[in-house]
Amino acid sequence: MNKWKKKKPETIKQFKRPTLAGDGFGGRAGFFMSRAITNIRQNVFVNVVTIGTITLALLIVSLFLLIFVNLESAAENWSERVQVTVYFDKELSAQDQTLLNQKISALSGVSRVNYVTREEALKRFKSRLKGQETLLEGVRSEVLPTSFEIALKRSHRDTAAIENFVTVLKKIPGIAEVQYGEEWVRRFNSFLNFMRLLGALLGGFLIIAVVFIVSNTIKLTIYSRRDELEVMSLVGATRLFIKAPFLLEGLIQGMTGSIFSIFLLFVLYEGFLHNAGSFLTFNPTTSGLGFLPFEYVAGILLAGALLGFIGSLTSLKRFINV
């Protein structure tokens, strides 16, 4: 400003046409960005509150997602146990085995077919009765049936699909006795559906609450600066010019909030969640909760950014008709 004190224009001189801050989209975007950052720096408290709200809101949602995703994967593990077994009284010849195996594998929905010989069946029987082997004294493998164990693809594990599959299966000549634990499958599937419905409901309410809270917080921050909106409008700023910095600010708040929430979730997870909850699975190798898969993390980041942006957009609408 010293430069100004040196020069003393005696008369009012006309300034030549000023250079513009930036021409084209790039220049404007840069200007809006710098304005948004200035705004954040000038309103630290309000921004901390907003980012904090978004962080907590998204943390709640992502915690819920974490639990939901883990329940789903546990259910996935359980449903591995849904399988269809075809029993035979006699040991099949190698030729019959391959023939039937091919026919069964050709059916839609089959993920794996496994032939269980009498010896194998006895071995399993024994291992299941561990500690009480005496019960099996005198039991020879000949009394046990041989079988095909058919594992189904994930999309074919619900009750109706299994029933369909079994009717088709029974049409293959040579197959008579088929078992798939009808009752268990039915209960398991209805339990799963119930859980999903509950999850969707809870998640839906949670998201509505979060959107409501966040948009109201943003509304308050913009309300606190309505003077600025008004002044800008009165000195001839276009709507885009007024809105853009606020929208960018909302975007930055949303992204920052979502990054914090993912970080906090990770801390919580590393802290104590990842070795809890082994009761959810039957498979000891996957005990403990898994962290959110990458798509979910990306989704939360995106949701945060959108939340900030749309929150600002809807709030601005209310104040910008000055």
Q: Under the rule (CB under 8 A), what is the footprint of another protein? A: 1, 4, 9, 12, 14-15, 18-21, 31, 42, 227-228, 230-239, 241, 322
Contact 64, 209 (CB under 8 A): no
Q: Which is nearer to another protein, 39 or 189 (CB)?
A: 39
Please say which residue, 1 or 106, places its beta carbon nearer to another protein.
1
The CB-of-270 to another protein minimum distance in angstroms stands at: 41
Contact criterion met (CB below 8 Å) for 304 and 255: yes
| CB of 9 or CB of 26, closer to another protein | 9
User: Which single residue is written with the structure tokens 């088929």?
Assistant: 178
Output 9 or 271, the one with its CB closest to another protein: 9
Distance CA(227)–CA(247), nearest Å, equals: 17
Task: Look at the block and give the residue holding tokens 């059916």.
Answer: 107
Residue 19: CB minimum distance to another protein, A? 4
Looking at the Cβ atoms of 14 and 285, the one nearer to another protein is 14
CB of 234 to another protein, least distance (A): 6
CB of 226 to another protein, least distance (A): 11
Across 287-316, b (16+ Cβ under 10 Å) vs e yields: eebebbeeebbeebbebbbbbbbbbbeebb
146: β partners = 88
Nearest distance in Å: CB 25, another protein: 13
CA angle 142, 146, 148 (to 5 degrees): 175
In sequence order, the β-bridge partners of residue 319 are none
Q: What is the C-alpha to C-alpha distance for residues 21 and 305, in angstroms, rounded to an integer?
A: 27
Contact indicator for 313, 247 with CB cutoff of 8 Å: yes
From its phi and psi, is residue 281 left (phi > 0), alpha (psi between -120 and 50) or beta?
Answer: beta
Q: Which is nearer to another protein, 21 or 200 (CB)?
A: 21
Closer of 131 and 236 to another protein (Cβ): 236
Nearest alpha-carbon partner for 112 in 77, 80, 89, 87: 80
Give least dist CB 27 to another protein, A.
9
Q: C-beta of 20: minimal distance to another protein in Å?
A: 5
| Cβ(221)–Cβ(312) below 8 Å | no
